[in-house]
Amino acid sequence: MKKIIGLLSIFTLITIISSCFSLLGDGSNTLVKESANNKHSKKAVLFLREAGATVANSYQVSITDYKTEFDTVAVGNVFTVDDDHDKAILDPKAISFSWLANDTIEISYNKNLRTFIQEKNIDGITIVYKVK
């Protein structure tokens, strides 16, 4: 009987701990838009990262090889913003991007968004930012 109670206690503890981890941000990604450079060698991908109960949703941009499939769990590698506790509206119009050249992209974003990641170069691509 003690063995059964011990095993049941361990199972319950594992279940509680794993539930806590999912509350802390075991998010998923939803593709919003993507745009390839003229050579179709790279692309920019904007996605919504829907987080757990204790972490805010965020918009993230990744620059990837053109043939890379969208990843529903990866985090953005170039640009990450959120609504700064409802100071900005987190919608697809808040961020736009356009390729200025095959190796340069401009990312425009709403000035009220809170920025966490803002890389200037990645994998040979220069990123220029414009606040709107």
Q: Where are the domains of the chain?
A: 27-131
Tell which residue, 50, 51, 46, has the closest CA to residue 79. 46
Tell which residue, 76, 81, 96, has the closest CA to residue 34. 96
Flag whether pLDDT at 73 surpasses 90. no
Query: For residue 11, what pLDDT band results from cuts at 50, 70 and 90?
Result: very low
* The pLDDT of residue 14: 47
DSSP letters, the chain, are -HHHHHHHHHHHHHHHHHHHHHHTT--EEEEEEEEE-TTSSEEEEEEEEE--TTS--EEEEEEEETTPPPPSSPPPSSEEEE-TTTTS--SGGGEEEEEEETTEEEEEE-TTSEEEEE-SEETTEEEEEEE-
> What would the mean pLDDT of 100-125 be, rounded to a whole number?
97
Tens of pLDDT, residue by residue over 117-129, are 999 999 999 999 9
